[in-house]
Structure 1
Amino acid sequence: MLKIQEIKELIKLIDESTIDEFKYELDESKITIKKAKPEIVQAAPAVQSVQPVQPVQAAPAPKSETKEIAAQDESAEAKQESNLHKIESPMVGTFYAASNPDSEPFVKAGSKVDEKSVVCIVEAMKLFNEIEAEIKGEIVEVLVEDGQLVEYGQPLFLVKPE
């Protein structure tokens, strides 16, 4: 007869192997060990109900002066944004604005940076990667929150080049 420890070892060895079923017979003792097969679950596509949309009455059009001012503001904003450099994430990971939770952020809006300035840390697979500005200028906007997951190529900061 097998001892409990031997049975435990058998179970462990079979669990770690590619064997699906194991049978052992000695005299009148029989042991059969079978691995549970993983269930394959298929998700059914979600069904969404569609609500009819009520037509909306259009508001009276604003005066032409208001339209011109709004268009000028948008074009000025677009020009300003096109002059800004984006510091992008070089990898998928977790964004950290500071070296530890008790420290001040590396940079914030208004901070001056140069090519070698560390602006944040992106953690990927337990490795903390310091991200440098790679441009001389002023941080205009921080685009992500501390602790947020970021994607490869996702803009992290907007910098006004000098």
Structure 2
Amino acid sequence: MLKVQELREIIKLIDQSSINEFTYENDGTTITMKKSNGEQRDPVQEKPVEQLEQQAPEVAIKEETVKVTEEQESAEESKSQQENNTVYDYEIVSPMVGTLYIAPTPESDAYVTKGTMVKDDTVVCIVEAMKLFNEIEAEVTGEIVEIMAEDGELVEYGQPLFRVKKQ
């Protein structure tokens, strides 16, 4: 499944190109984007919300249309329900773009795991950016209730990394 940022980049590239229609398929997920013929219109305002809900789910972004399959919808719903079940008060987010490391070395244990109690100055992970390893501190006292990124994953600025239940 494409991340929101990747989808935005694809939309921007298609918008700037001469391509009028684009389809992407991966693991049963299909995304189709079409440019309009230069007409400036707002598809969401053309029909009442009730009619839009009855049709195949469709998300309008400027001139491109992204169709979401039912499989994606159900996966996103179950993910959002799962996120709603996790009780947390604070999210530790990435302060920069870089590679996330949850342990100081590949052979070491992770800085924190689910259930770990942290304090303001507890190092929870490292984000490597431009060959610099930046230790990320919890900045809150509490318990790690969810780890939202994986070791070695590229993380974005502001991306939630950990969820914490404050004490």
TM-score range, shorter chain: 0.5 to 0.7
Post-superposition shift, 1:45? Answer: 1.7
Match of 1:114 in 2: 119
Match of 2:109 in 1: 104
- For 2:19, the aligned partner's letter is P
- Aligned-pair identity in percent equals 54
Q: Spell out the pairing of 1:33-48 with structure 2 (5 A cutoff).
A: 44-45=18-19, 47-48=21-22
Q: Spell out the pairing of 1:41-56 with structure 2 (5 A cutoff).
A: 44-45=18-19, 47-48=21-22
- For 1:45, the aligned partner's letter is I
Rg larger in structure: 1
Post-superposition shift, 1:84? Answer: 2.1
Post-superposition shift, 1:113? Answer: 0.5
Match of 1:21 in 2: none
Q: Spell out the pairing of 1:11-160 with structure 2 (5 A cutoff).
A: 44-45=18-19, 47-48=21-22, 78=84, 81=87, 83-160=88-165
Give per-residue Cα distances to partners, 1:37-61, cap 9 Å, x unaligned: xxxxx954263477xxxx89xxxxx
Distance 1:98 1:80, change over 3 A: closer
Give the alignment's Cα RMSD to 1 decimal.
2.6
* Equivalent-residue separation in structure 1 for 2:120 and 2:151 (angstroms): 22
Distance 1:80 1:98, change over 3 A: closer
The TM-score with structure 1 as length reference comes to 0.53
Give per-residue Cα distances to partners, 1:97-140, cap 9 Å, x unaligned: 00111110000101110001000000001000000000111100
Match of 2:37 in 1: none
Post-superposition shift, 1:80? Answer: 5.7
- For 2:127, the aligned partner's letter is V
Q: Structure 1: which 4+ aligned runs deviate by more than 2 Å?
A: 46-50, 77-81
Unpaired runs of 5+ in structure 1? Answer: 1-41, 57-73
* Equivalent-residue separation in structure 2 for 1:96 and 1:105 (angstroms): 9
Secondary structure, aligned partner of 2:145: strand
Report how many aligned residue pairs link the two structures.
97
- For 1:98, the aligned partner's letter is A
Unpaired runs of 5+ in structure 2? Answer: 1-15, 24-31, 33-54, 57-80
Secondary structure, aligned partner of 2:92: strand
* Equivalent-residue separation in structure 2 for 1:131 and 1:101 (angstroms): 17
Secondary structure, aligned partner of 1:141: strand
Secondary structure, aligned partner of 1:100: coil
